[in-house]
Chain A
Amino acid sequence: MIIPIDIGWLKVKTRFLLLVIAFCLMFLLNVGFSYAGDDDTNTKEVGVEWVNNYHGQPGWGDLTMCDDDAGGFRSTLVAQGFTGSWNFGDDNAWEMDFERQDLGGRDQTRADDVDFVYFAGHGQSDSFRFGVNHDGNGVDTLQLRFSEAQWGDRDLEWVTLSACSVLNFATITNWRPVFDTYLHGICGFHTAMADTDDLGRLFAEYLTNVRGPYQIREAWTRATQADPHQASSVYAACYRRINLNSYGDPIYDFGNDWASGYMGNEHWSSWDFAYTRWSC
């Protein structure tokens, strides 16, 4: 018995199938090209920069432990299953990596292209400082001033600045416009701080099961208080957006008993801010 085959119908089906495959391929390629080298499929990317060598800039002496400070944050989180993105130090740490695109910066492929950023180096109440000049627009060179940053328009959720006085309460409102859609908060210091090789590691340990898990603001509190390099005259700080559960922001995959778990970006539409500082 011969089964009649509708050749025309088969052709249409084949064309439709090819069209679907081509569409899927185009989608995959498009994603691949748009986010080249990045892992935006998760919320666990970590990028760090640090500066020990300030090349004799007057008033900004060389530091010795910032590599271990920032590196400890990254390596501890990577050991806990996070994605270690970039790690740039000394002359490879550039201001442009944190600077707005419209000012010639490229934060869209660096700071704002990961979920957690940690910087260790010098700082003051309006900026944090780099060792070499790689500035996007030639203004305020060697330092990332608050007016040059706008974070969270892409991927960045938390920034930690292990640098003196960047979150000084007297000038904290300067940093408010830095918050774009997805940025949850900035951790840092109200006063000057001591150079440390422990802080980044401790912060990551308090965020995860090693010593925690704690929500991000509380993990920063615990880490700065546990850091043996910081005296009680040093005050750390956190400036953050408030959602309905103002303290409920643990790091992804490390929610705990009292937290409602990690909250996606959709929960961060509030523009109310809270500031907390504490003795180390």
Chain B
Amino acid sequence: MGLCIYEVVLLKCKNIVITAVFMIMFFSIAWFAKVKFWSTQPISSDSTIRLPDGTELKLACDLPSTPSEIPNIKTTTRLDITAEKVTYIASEFFGLISPVVRSEYFDAFRVRDGDCDLWITDYGSIDYYVSGIDSPKSLPNNTEAKLIAENFLAEVKKQGITPRNPLVHIEFEDVIAGCESGTANSLTIQYWDVLFAVKFDCLKIAEAKISIGDNGSIVGVQGLWREVEQSGSVRILSSSEAIQKVSSTENVKQLTNVQKIQINSIALEYWDDRTALEQQDRLMPVYMLECVLTNYGGETSTAFLRVSASE
């Protein structure tokens, strides 16, 4: 009997020792591998934390609930972008009659006609720009500009120029003063930029911009609507983890002399780090933070800060 009790006590001690050894090993490995089991500075709605460089970060919105993984989006080439099709688009939508040429630098067709320059790439993106715009005599107001841009976009869609993937759709976002010009005393608006979000399912993958100038004319189209498809999934950080990286490398320049960052909205989206004319393999998941920045002089400005959502 005595031997039996002794064995039980010995077994308990053994278990305690094994557990202790396991715990020590586990936390040692975790320490060396810098695994974070908890956030050092948890942030919640309407709270303020201090970033390592001393900048105050205030969250003035709710943290979006995001999945742990989202679709991995790859870009693809469209086989239907031909010289004939570009000739048709150039003529029908922009009134250009110069011949279509194949770029020697990019996978794209180009039509340059007087002040107008149109590019359409093999990935489906469109870039149109009108040079030498003078002060407009009759600029539509921003509501009219929105309507003109939406009608134009509807026509473009009807011709099958926007992405064909049924999960991709284009939504209106905002109208802003696209370009202002003048002397040192006053500036006048040269054209409006009507902004659209190109979305895959419910996540933004690109921005499209249609510029409306004098008498409602289309003076610019930046449709970065590449043809895309899903290729598996990609793991992402939570928004709480990501926003603590806001002062990381990419944003340092914008955060110069900034004392306070107030985050007013957070959106999970994709970022295309290439220009419309260049090839892009995959889009990168990012959190886009709409912020008000306050510098040490007390001046405020609005900025969109991008933080990588990749693990």
Contact = CB atoms under 8 A, between A and B. Distances in A.
A279 B176 CA distance: 8
A231 interface: yes
A164 B222 contact: no
A279 B275 contact: no
Interface stretch (B21-29, B40-48, B71-79, B297-305): B297-305
A169 B302 CA distance: 16
A10 interface: no
B177 interface: yes
A62 interface: yes
Contacts of A193: 253-254
B298 to A, nearest CB: 14
Interface residues of A, number: 48
Contact of A232 (B193, B255, B271, B306): B193
A122 B303 contact: no
A194 B256 contact: no
A164 B183 contact: no
Nearest to B127: A226
B273 to A, nearest CB: 5
A233 B255 CA distance: 14
A232 B304 contact: yes
Contacts, number: 121
Contacts of A44: none
Given A193-B253, A195-B253, A228 B271 contact: yes
Contacts of B195: 232
Interface string A124-150: 100000000000000000000000000
A205 B200 CA distance: 31
Interface in A217-231: 218, 221-222, 225-229, 231
B275 A202 contact: yes
A228 B271 CA distance: 8
A213 B36 CA distance: 51
A276 B182 CA distance: 6
Interface string B167-188: 0000000001111111110010
A210 B103 CA distance: 9
B12 to A, nearest CB: 55
B207 interface: yes
Contact of A59 (B115, B132, B250, B296): B296
A192 interface: yes
A232 to B, nearest CB: 6
A276 B181 contact: yes
A246 to B, nearest CB: 9
B131 interface: yes
B180 A192 contact: no
A194 B105 contact: no
B276 interface: yes
Contact of B252 (A195, A221, A233): A195
A194 B271 CA distance: 14
B120 to A, nearest CB: 14
Contact of B256 (A59, A169, A214, A258): A59
A63 B274 CA distance: 20
Nearest to A228: B273
**Which one of A63, A211, A214 has the highest number of Cβ atoms from chain B below 10 Å of its Cβ?**
A211
B275 A198 contact: yes
A194 B184 contact: no
B183 A63 contact: no
Given A61-B53, A192-B301, A258 B132 contact: yes
Given A214-B131, A228-B271, A232-B304, A277 B184 contact: no
A258 B177 CA distance: 26
B293 interface: yes
21 contacts: A61-B255, A63-B253, A64-B249, A122-B253, A164-B253, A176-B184, A192-B254, A192-B303, A194-B306, A198-B275, A210-B105, A222-B129, A228-B273, A228-B274, A232-B207, A273-B183, A274-B181, A277-B179, A277-B181, A277-B187, A278-B179
Given A164-B253, A215-B131, A215-B132, 9 more contacts: A60-B256, A63-B253, A172-B184, A191-B303, A232-B209, A247-B131, A276-B179, A276-B181, A278-B180
Chain A to chain B: the 3 pairs with minimum beta-carbon distance, closest first: A231-B304, A278-B179, A61-B252
